[in-house]
Amino acid sequence: MAEQSAYAILNLRKGVSEQEIKLAYVEMVKRYDPEKHTERFMIIQNAFERLRDPKKRAKEDVFTYNYPRGEFQFSPEEKTEEPLEEVLGKIKELEQQLVANPTDEAVKAAVIPYYFKRSWRHTQKKLWTEAMKDWVLVLQLDPTNQKAKNNLLFSYVYLGYYYAVHELVDESTTLLEKCLRMWPDNLDVIHNLALVADKAGDKERANKYWSETVKRWKELLDKAPEDEYLRACIIEVHKHHGGKAMESVPTAETKQEALESYREILKFNPADFEAQYNIVATLMDERKFEEAIEELKKLQQAHPKNLDVVNLLGWAYLNAGKMELAFSTWRRGLVLDPKSHQIKDSIMRARLQVGKKLKEGGLYTQALVHFKELQKMMPNQWELHYEIGDTLCRKGDRRSALTEFQRVLELDPKNKAAKKAMSEIRLRG
């Protein structure tokens, strides 16, 4: 189950101040005594810590919709309880005059307050579509009317947010993009559009809005280079993109996208282990083993005791054709942890893989070296004894091969392949 939002746990909205977070935490602790509600208290404590720490809060905020800022604007006169019939009648009368004389500025000025009066009543009843129609009418008459523009923009943002929260992504996208056309510098809206597009699975639109969001965060970071929160927000977006690229169907494009995302992270945090490791994993997947080796060497210098790095370096060497370096790397891993199942498993799989490849290439003596080393680690595996027997048979040592096939039957009495091999050896005398 996905972790619950820290804001939801503390009954807060994104964008609250540190003081509001503290107050909410205190109120929750009063409600859930730590001794009586230990489990609930731990959840509250965890949410509080996630919002107090700039890096953890960034991780929370990057994937949380921005709550609308602002409010509808109406003058006291527009909020008066003038009978609706009178308001509607006056609008009808003035609109008829405008039809007769569309350029009459006095009539335009007279009808605008009535549109606001009607829209105020619509907002009280949450009839947003009707209210928006009135503000559009105002702007058609007076394109500079800031109050109508504010109300229209706020309605787009407000409804776009609630549609997004309730997963009505198409409706949300339509409204938020309307807002953006009128207010292209609204970073909260751009960010919300990125999240909505992600939710809808619209990769092209999501990439467009994420790129714009990150671009603007970078501009803000340039002005405040010590802002750890902004830095962490940018890193989280790149981790998000890199992770999605790696999880998608692997293509040259998605692999390159993953590499670019993780390399962007290193520009902001050169010591980010996850990004470094994922770069290596992507290079390995692309079979760029020499590049992977160089990256892993740097990673190993920074994390000399990390067995994941040691293990991957061993495989990078092996796939690059540097077998001795691969096995010496894994041996160093066993020095760090003699009980490491991960390293032991890699050595066994590598020995078997190399042995089979050498056998198929006709290099029987070298193949037997790997099989014999592997036998020290897994002496009672019939599959290994069969590989040794098959290699000896191909080499011409039928007597030794027969011994190995007999050992296979001791471990697996019904093994048909071993029985067939023994019959062929005996037929040849």
Amino acid 45 reads Q
Amino acid 201 reads G
Distance (Å) of CA 305 to CA 283, 287, 310, 323? 22, 25, 8, 22
Q: Report the pLDDT value the prediction gives residue 428, as an integer from 0 to 100.
A: 77
Residue 2 has pLDDT above 70, yes or no: no
Domain boundary among the residues 37, 52, 67 is at 52
Mean pLDDT over residues 241-261, rounded?
A: 74
For 5, the enclosing helix (H) or strand (E) is none
Q: Report the pLDDT value the prediction gives residue 257, as an integer from 0 to 100.
A: 82
Banded pLDDT at 338 (limits 50, 70, 90):
very high
More confident residue, 319 or 34: 319
d(Cα 168, Cα 188) in Å, to the nearest integer?
18
d(Cα 62, Cα 14) in Å, to the nearest integer?
10
272-287: per-residue pLDDT in tens?
898 899 899 889 988 9
Residue 109 has pLDDT above 90, yes or no: yes
185-219: per-residue pLDDT in tens?
999 999 999 999 999 999 899 989 999 999 999 99
Q: Report the pLDDT value the prediction gives residue 255, as an integer from 0 to 100.
A: 78
* Total number of domains constituting the chain: 3
d(Cα 377, Cα 384) in Å, to the nearest integer?
11
Q: Is residue 23 part of a domain?
A: yes
Calculate ∠ Cα 283-286-288, nearest 5°. Answer: 60
Structure tokens at 9: 């746990």
Percent of the chain topping pLDDT 90 = 76
Q: Is residue 271 part of a domain?
A: no
Banded pLDDT at 248 (limits 50, 70, 90):
low
Domain boundary among the residues 201, 231, 253 is at 201
Structure tokens at 296: 């892993």
Structure tokens at 338: 């003699």
Closest CA relative to residue 8, chosen from 52, 44, 42: 44
Q: Is residue 367 part of a domain?
A: no
Mean pLDDT over residues 295-315, rounded?
A: 93
Closest CA relative to residue 48, chosen from 56, 36, 58: 56
Residue 3 has pLDDT above 70, yes or no: no
173 with 197, same domain? yes
| pTM of the full structure | 0.72
User: What is the residue-averaged pLDDT of the chain?
Assistant: 91
Amino acid 344 reads K
Q: Is residue 257 part of a domain?
A: no
Residue 144's domain is classified under what CATH number? 1.25.40
The sign one gets for the Cα dihedral 298, 304, 308, 313 is positive
CB 154 within 8 A of CB 70: yes
d(Cα 211, Cα 187) in Å, to the nearest integer?
12
Structure tokens at 167: 């997963």
29 with 97, same domain? no
178 with 100, same domain? yes
Q: Is residue 215 part of a domain?
A: no
Residue 243 has pLDDT above 50, yes or no: yes
d(Cα 123, Cα 175) in Å, to the nearest integer?
17
Max CA pair span of the chain: 118
d(Cα 239, Cα 58) in Å, to the nearest integer?
13
Annotate 84-118 with b (16+ C-beta within 10 A) or e (fewer). Answer: eeebeebbeebeeeeeeeeeeeebbeebbebbbbb
122 with 191, same domain? yes
42 with 168, same domain? no
138 with 23, same domain? no
Q: Cite the DSSP H helix spans in 67-223.
A: 84-100, 105-124, 128-141, 146-165, 169-182, 187-200, 203-223
Mean pLDDT over residues 372-401, rounded?
A: 92
148 with 25, same domain? no
Residue 249 has pLDDT above 60, yes or no: no
Residue 429 has pLDDT above 70, yes or no: no
d(Cα 225, Cα 36) in Å, to the nearest integer?
44
Domain that holds residue 395: 380-429
116-169: per-residue pLDDT in tens?
999 999 999 999 999 999 999 999 999 999 999 999 999 999 999 999 999 999
d(Cα 278, Cα 372) in Å, to the nearest integer?
35
Intra-chain end-to-end CA distance of the chain, in Å: 66
CA quadruple 203, 206, 210, 211: dihedral, nearest 10: 60
Q: Report the pLDDT value the prediction gives residue 1, as an integer from 0 to 100.
A: 36
For 53, the enclosing helix (H) or strand (E) is none
34 with 62, same domain? no
74 with 175, same domain? yes
CB 284 within 8 A of CB 316: yes
Mean pLDDT over residues 312-333, rounded?
A: 94
- Among the residue ranges 60-74, 110-124, 233-247, the one predicted with the least confidence is 233-247
Annotate 386-407 with b (16+ C-beta within 10 A) or e (fewer). Answer: bbbbbbbbebebbeebbebbeb
357-366: per-residue pLDDT in tens?
999 999 999 9
Structure tokens at 23: 């107050």
Q: Is residue 345 part of a domain?
A: no
Q: Report the pLDDT value the prediction gives residue 246, as an integer from 0 to 100.
A: 60
Residue 425 has pLDDT above 90, yes or no: no
Q: Is residue 276 part of a domain?
A: no
Structure tokens at 7: 């804001």
Residue 53 has pLDDT above 70, yes or no: yes
Mean pLDDT over residues 322-345, rounded?
A: 94
